[in-house]
């Protein structure tokens, strides 16, 4: 058994019986620990099977055309997931693009140790509270309050200023990709901010103070000291947030418009993978229809896996394999 | 000299940007909380909200007693499953898992967080409801436990890693076996983070709806048997918030407010506890 | 001698009463079932399914529990299809659906003879809209214009086709925003059933179903979400359950029915439509859309409850059929102020007869006289 640096300095105590007994304890504990690890893998495997097996009738029937098909017609049993995949990626991207600067900016503020405690304390608390609000409530909030605001104020403004871009062209109903993206931003903000705040708080005070002592401005300290140190942890926070954004169902369903189409404008109505599943799962009859919905869940799992792999590659490149901080 | 001015200007700009970010982050939080409070208060103050179970529309009174008890029981059982298992996996990852097995577990856990919560409900339905032939609170607890595991495991691992190596080595140097060092030295030092993770996971579980739809099903009557369908606050919100009857809508919003209050309380307690540990 | 005879007959009567055992006691002969009371055994029942009937079902079952505290009925709305799924998986005692089980679903449940399906209530669907200055019932829609709107061929409110039916009504030059259900629902089924029967275009291009591929429009999840979307969007129109329209005080259109009259959808109109058909059956024709009759509401449909014909648990089975018997007779009153239409007499008779076929270990569970 490894005792780290101690091994080199202090020789192992020569206590025969106790050592043998402690070996047993170690073995049991180690066994439990490894067992727990394997349990997670087992759960994930069962999960995967629970998704794959019912999806087989749909996979065998539609093959690859399922992923690129654009028509979702339950009556004629024609299913294509492309609009939903597109919607999921677009809304998650919009959500993260909005949440990232706000979350990291707020995290930098919340992680500092001096000054403005009156604001920092309640705000930290409030943001964590936000994480607890059920997504149904956020969906209802978005439905009743956010959509009118988007329709009458935000969307026309964006159209006016940036309407030359295909992203912001066309008329706005208040529903659609952009509104869904905003809702997702609100939902991932707590995770992103809280986790980033915790990571930034671990940047050693001495480093920050050294930078300031050398004459760097606060902005330069942030750029040259805090960001590189916290880069890995913040990426992890972004990953977790992306996971939540990809899988968010109820809140998005209420504002995305539930229309299986692919359009360039962020004002247009769309669909996401979880929304289709949530909308139609309870009423789907027949192995092929149900299989199609399970296949959507499978595609979502695959997208999540791909995103996670990419992010890990990114982290690995940053740190050359050696994890710097959690 | 002009370079200094540029640097100072940049500093001011960045400070301003951060201030804007903070304001933008604060707005949705405040507006949402205000929204929930305003819509939820009338229902909460209605007589019988805390003491009676569900009354259908047309019958005056009625409340969420069955749902409160249901949420407590379902999340309680889920925590009893998820916290020990999750912290054990977190311990595994930090103490034994700096290898490819550990990396696989970490990866799998991250993927699980990305799945829509309805998938956990379907999973629990397949293994516990369809097989046993009836809905039950315990199948909901299993679904929630799997949902909670990645959060607890990650928080535990993070907390354990942050404990300085010197503590471990000191323990080992004194001749203690590894398992005792881990359990009696490192875990107590990391306890703050572990508890926070557990409490946050419990809070999230309390607010989840989709995993409960096909496991606990819901129950208008107050009942404690975990092997039978059970009500929950999240289900009350989901099913009643969009009905056209104002009295039931009020109840749904009040239930949502109650959930937020419960979570807020849990958060406060967690922070107090962590601060005491760190003393 | 007289005393012995009296004593003997008294004890014989007591013995018979004690052996009567099973607590079904029919007090009055049935005349269409309205006044027979049946006392159920103690049981705890679970049902799931249609969201549409949930308010009615919950109110009725609550009243039933007040009357017979030994029976608790837990009904949860999970959706019509889910209700059927759960009945098939035997995780609930009965399911409720706005559409009866299809032949595929029946096969999955053990064959068409293994399930009993009875109607429990009647609902209508209206077309709610948001047009300034156009009040309730002022907008007149015909089958052709409804189909045109939902197919996307009629795109603006001041379209010729609409103006032709609405002389004197100020229809603005506004694009029509169509709102439909995004989730699978019985309401969608009834509406698309109607469209399929009045428009061959719709029938070939889209068809009928709980979820269809809508040619135009925006999807909202649930009746209330559709209702709110309409309320929030000027120029919007969508189909909503009548109960929601009335509860939320929405403006709805007058619809031209089969006989050519413009009617505002109502419970009475739904019952009138249903009464036109003598041979409604869950496995045969159950559609009552576009029904003849001068007062008939064109878009209406039954909602159904399904249970297994052969009940494995005798006590539960008895409690179940007693409950459902009550539901289609005395229980109907609990739907009126919730805007559910009552079952016509012919359907109640059918339902009672169907319930009498439910057995457990070979013996019939419902001990009431057959309705006349």
| Token pair for C200 | 């061959």
Report A:240-279 residues touching B (Cβ under 8 A).
240, 242-244, 246-250, 273-274, 277-278
What is the pLDDT at residue C18? Answer: 39
Range of the domain at B109: 65-278
Residue B232 lies in a domain: yes
Residue B160 lies in a domain: yes
Q: Where are the domains of chain A?
A: 58-319
3-state secondary structure of C46: strand
3-state secondary structure of A118: helix
Phi and psi dihedrals of C364, rounded to 5?
-65, 145
What is the C-alpha separation between A30 and C122, in angstroms, rounded? Answer: 64
What phi-psi label fits residue A15: left (phi over 0), alpha (psi between -120 and 50 degrees) or beta? beta
Please name the residues in contact with B110: beta carbons below 8 A apart, sequence gap of 6 or more: A239, A240, A243, A308, B150
Residue A94, pLDDT > 90, answer yes
- Interchain pair C213, A257: CB under 8 A: no
In this prediction, residue C321 has a pLDDT band, given cuts at 50, 70 and 90, of very high
Residues above pLDDT 70, as percent of chain C: 90
Residue B196 lies in a domain: yes
| Chain C positions touching chain B (beta carbons under 8 Å) | 44, 46, 48, 55, 58-59, 61-62, 72, 74-78, 82, 89-92, 222-225, 227, 243-244, 247-248, 334, 337-338
Residues above pLDDT 70, as percent of chain A: 89
What is the pLDDT at residue C63? Answer: 93
Q: Specify the number of domains making up chain B.
A: 1
Is B55 an 8 Å CB contact of chain C? yes
What is the pLDDT at residue A323? Answer: 45
In this prediction, residue A325 has a pLDDT band, given cuts at 50, 70 and 90, of very low
Residue B186 lies in a domain: yes
Please name the residues in contact with B210: beta carbons below 8 A apart, sequence gap of 6 or more: A249, A250, A278, B116, B117, B118, B120, B121
Q: In what order do the strands lie in the sheet with C262-263?
A: C140-141, C254-256, C262-263
Q: Is B265 exposed, middle or buried (0-12, 13-18, 19+ CB in 10 A)?
A: exposed
Pick the residue of C78, C82, C232, C238 with the most A CBs within 10 A to test the interface with A by mutation: C232
Q: Which residue in A has a C-alpha nearest to residue C209's C-alpha?
A: A75
Residue A326, pLDDT > 50, answer no
What is the C-alpha separation between A183 and A135, in angstroms, rounded? Answer: 10
Mean pLDDT of C121-146: 93
Phi and psi dihedrals of A177, rounded to 5?
-60, -45
In this prediction, residue C157 has a pLDDT band, given cuts at 50, 70 and 90, of very high
What is the pLDDT at residue A115? Answer: 66
Please name the fold of domain A58-319: MetI-like fold (1.10.3720)
Q: Which residue in A has a C-alpha nearest to residue C222's C-alpha?
A: A279
| Token pair for B89 | 């996996």
What is the C-alpha separation between A266 and A154, in angstroms, rounded? Answer: 12
How many other C-beta atoms can be found within 10 angstroms of the C-beta atom of residue A39?
A: 16
Residue A122, pLDDT > 90, answer no
* SS (HEC) of C67-125: HCCCEEEEEEECCHHHHHHHHHCCCCCEEEECCCCCHHHHHHCCCCCCEEEEEEEEEEE
Mean pLDDT of A122-143: 81
In this prediction, residue B1 has a pLDDT band, given cuts at 50, 70 and 90, of low
Is A125 an 8 Å CB contact of chain B? yes
What are the pLDDT digits (tens) for C15-60? 444 333 333 333 333 334 444 567 889 999 999 998 888 889 999 9
Q: Is C90 exposed, middle or buried (0-12, 13-18, 19+ CB in 10 A)?
A: middle
Residue A154 DSSP label: I
What is the C-alpha separation between B20 and B22, in angstroms, rounded? Answer: 5
Interior/surface letters C156-170, b for 16+ CB within 10 angstroms, e for the rest: ebebeebeebbeebe
Residue A223 DSSP label: I
Residue B164, pLDDT > 60, answer yes
Mean predicted lDDT score pLDDT of chain C: 85
Question: Chain C partners of A174 at a C-beta cutoff of 8 Å?
Answer: 232-233
β-pair type (C254-256, C236-241): unpaired
Q: What string of DSSP letters covers C337-353?
A: GGTPBPPPHHHHHHHHH
Q: What string of DSSP letters covers C322-335?
A: HHHHHHHTGGGGGG
- Interchain pair A249, B118: CB under 8 A: yes
Residue C10, pLDDT > 60, answer no
Mean pLDDT of B176-189: 87
**CA neighbours within 13 Å on the CB side: how many for A155?**
26
What is the C-alpha separation between B37 and B253, in angstroms, rounded? Answer: 8
What are the pLDDT digits (tens) for A291-318? 899 899 889 888 888 888 887 777 677 6
- Interchain pair C58, B221: CB under 8 A: no
Residue B276, pLDDT > 80, answer no
**CA neighbours within 13 Å on the CB side: how many for A38?**
6
Residue B12 lies in a domain: no
What are the pLDDT digits (tens) for C210-243? 889 999 999 988 887 888 889 888 899 999 989 8
Phi and psi dihedrals of C357, rounded to 5?
-85, -5
Residue A12, pLDDT > 60, answer no
- Could you tell me if C123 and C341 are in contact, meaning their C-beta atoms sit under 8 angstroms apart? yes
CATH number at B274 reads: 1.10.3720.10
What are the pLDDT digits (tens) for A200-251? 877 888 888 898 899 888 888 888 888 888 777 787 778 778 877 888 888 8
Residue B195 lies in a domain: yes
Question: Which segment of A204-218, C54-68, C286-300 scores lowest on mean pLDDT?
Answer: A204-218
What is the pLDDT at residue B279? Answer: 61
What is the pLDDT at residue A250? Answer: 82
Mean predicted lDDT score pLDDT of chain A: 82
Q: How far is CA C12 from the centre of its chain?
A: 48
- Could you tell me if C300 and C274 are in contact, meaning their C-beta atoms sit under 8 angstroms apart? yes
Mean pLDDT of B243-264: 86
What is the pLDDT at residue A144? Answer: 85
What is the pLDDT at residue A10? Answer: 57
What are the pLDDT digits (tens) for B93-146? 988 888 888 889 988 988 888 788 888 888 888 888 878 888 899 999 999 999
Question: Which segment of A97-111, A273-287, C13-27, C294-308 scores lowest on mean pLDDT?
Answer: C13-27
Residue B143 lies in a domain: yes
Phi and psi dihedrals of C205, rounded to 5?
-80, -40
Stronger pLDDT, C3 or A213, i.e. the higher one = A213
């Amino acid at each position: 058994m490894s005792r780290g640096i101690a091994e080199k300095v202090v020789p192992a105590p020569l206590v025969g019986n106790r050592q043998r007994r402690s070996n047993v304890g170690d073995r049991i504990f180690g066994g439990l620990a490894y067992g727990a690890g394997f349990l997670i893998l087992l759960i994930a495997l069962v999960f995967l099977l629970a998704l794959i097996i019912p999806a087989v009738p749909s996979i065998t029937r539609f093959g690859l055309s399922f992923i690129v098909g654009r028509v979702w017609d339950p009556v004629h049993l024609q299913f294509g997931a492309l609009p939903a995949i597109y919607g999921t990626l677009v809304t998650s991207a919009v959500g993260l693009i909005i949440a990232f600067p706000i979350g990291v900016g707020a995290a930098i503020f919340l992680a500092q140790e001096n000054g403005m405690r009156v604001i920092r304390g309640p705000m930290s608390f409030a943001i964590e509270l936000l994480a607890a609000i059920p997504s149904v409530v956020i969906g209802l909030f978005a439905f009743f309050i956010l959509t009118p605001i988007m329709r009458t104020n935000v969307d026309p403004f964006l159209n006016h200023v940036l309407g030359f871009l295909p992203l912001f062209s066309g008329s706005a109903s208040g529903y659609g990709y952009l509104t869904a993206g905003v809702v997702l931003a609100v939902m991932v903000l707590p995770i992103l901010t809280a986790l980033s705040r915790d990571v930034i708080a671990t940047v050693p005070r001495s480093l920050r103070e050294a930078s300031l002592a050398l004459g760097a401005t606060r902005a330069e300290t942030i750029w040259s000291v805090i960001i590189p140190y916290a880069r890995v942890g913040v990426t992890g926070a972004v990953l977790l947030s992306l996971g939540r954004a990809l899988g968010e169902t109820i809140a998005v369903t209420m504002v995305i418009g539930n229309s299986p189409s692919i359009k360039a404008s962020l004002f247009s109505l769309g669909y996401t993978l979880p929304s289709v599943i949530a909308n139609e799962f309870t009423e789907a009859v027949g192995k092929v229809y149900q299989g199609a919905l399970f296949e959507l869940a499978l595609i979502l799992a695959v997208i999540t896996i791909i995103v996670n792999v990419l992010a890990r590659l990114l982290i690995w490149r940053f740190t050359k394999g050696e994890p710097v901080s959690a | 000299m002009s370079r200094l001015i540029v640097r100072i200007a940049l500093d001011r700009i960045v400070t301003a940007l951060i201030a804007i970010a903070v304001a933008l982050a604060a707005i949705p939080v405040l507006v949402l909380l205000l929204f929930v409070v305003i819509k939820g208060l009338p229902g909460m103050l209605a007589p019988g909200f805390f003491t009676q179970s569900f009354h259908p529309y047309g019958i005056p009174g009625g409340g969420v007693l069955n749902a409160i008890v249901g949420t407590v029981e379902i999340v309680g059982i889920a925590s009893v499953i998820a916290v020990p298992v999750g912290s054990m996996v977190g311990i595994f990852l930090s103490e034994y898992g700096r290898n490819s097995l550990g990396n696989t577990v970490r990866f799998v856990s991250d993927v699980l967080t990305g799945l829509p919560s309805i998938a956990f409900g379907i999973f629990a339905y397949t293994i516990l409801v369809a097989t046993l032939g009836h809905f039950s609170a315990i199948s909901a607890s299993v679904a929630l436990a799997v949902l909670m595991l990645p959060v607890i495991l990650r928080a535990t691992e993070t907390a354990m890693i942050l404990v300085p190596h010197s503590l471990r080595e000191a323990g080992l140097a004194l001749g203690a076996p590894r398992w005792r060092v881990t359990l009696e030295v490192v875990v107590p030092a990391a306890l703050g983070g572990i508890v926070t993770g557990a409490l946050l996971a419990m809070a999230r579980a309390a607010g989840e709806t989709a995993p409960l739809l096909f496991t606990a099903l819901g129950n208008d009557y107050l009942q404690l048997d975990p092997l039978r369908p059970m009500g929950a606050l999240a289900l009350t919100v989901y099913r009643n918030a969009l009905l056209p009857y104002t009295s039931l809508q009020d109840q749904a919003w009040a239930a949502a407010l109650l959930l937020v209050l419960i979570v807020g309380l849990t958060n406060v307690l967690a922070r107090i506890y962590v601060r005491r540990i760190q003393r | 001698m007289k005393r012995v005879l009296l004593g003997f007959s008294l004890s014989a009567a007591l013995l018979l009463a004690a052996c009567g055992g099973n607590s079904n006691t029919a007090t009055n002969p049935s005349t269409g079932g309205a006044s027979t009371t049946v006392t159920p055994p103690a049981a705890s029942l679970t049902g799931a399914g249609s969201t549409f009937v949930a308010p009615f079902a919950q109110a009725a079952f609550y009243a039933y529990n007040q009357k017979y505290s030994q029976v608790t009925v837990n009904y949860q709305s999970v959706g019509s299809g889910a209700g059927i799924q759960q009945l098939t998986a035997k995780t609930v005692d009965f399911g409720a659906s706005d559409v009866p089980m299809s032949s595929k679903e029946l096969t999955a449940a053990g064959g068409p003879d293994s399930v009993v399906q009875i109607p429990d209530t009647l609902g209508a669907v209206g077309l709610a809209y948001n047009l300034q200055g156009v009040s309730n019932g002022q907008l007149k829609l015909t089958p052709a214009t409804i189909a045109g709107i939902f197919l996307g061929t009629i795109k603006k409110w001041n379209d010729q086709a609409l103006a032709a039916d609405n002389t004197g009504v100020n229809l603005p030059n506004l694009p029509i925003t169509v709102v439909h259900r995004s989730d699978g629902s019985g309401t969608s089924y009834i509406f698309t059933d109607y469209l399929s029967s009045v428009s061959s275009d719709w029938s070939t291009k889209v068809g009928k179903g709980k979820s269809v591929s809508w040619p135009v429009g925006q999807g909202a999840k649930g009746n209330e979400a559709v209702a709110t979307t309409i309320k929030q969007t000027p120029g919007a129109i969508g189909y909503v359950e009548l109960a929601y329209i009335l509860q939320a005080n929405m403006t709805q259109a007058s619809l031209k029915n089969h006989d050519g009259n413009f009617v505002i959808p109502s419970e009475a109109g739904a019952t009138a439509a249903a009464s036109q058909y003598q041979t409604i059956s869950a496995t045969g024709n159950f559609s009552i859309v576009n029904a003849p009759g001068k007062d008939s509401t064109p878009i209406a449909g039954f909602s159904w409850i399904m249970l297994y014909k052969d009940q494995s648990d005798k006590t539960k089975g008895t409690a179940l059929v007693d409950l459902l018997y009550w539901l289609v007779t005395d229980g109907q009153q609990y739907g009126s102020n919730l805007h559910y239409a009552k079952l016509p007499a012919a359907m109640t008779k059918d339902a009672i007869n169907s319930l009498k076929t439910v057995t457990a270990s070979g013996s019939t569970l419902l001990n009431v006289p057959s309705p006349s």
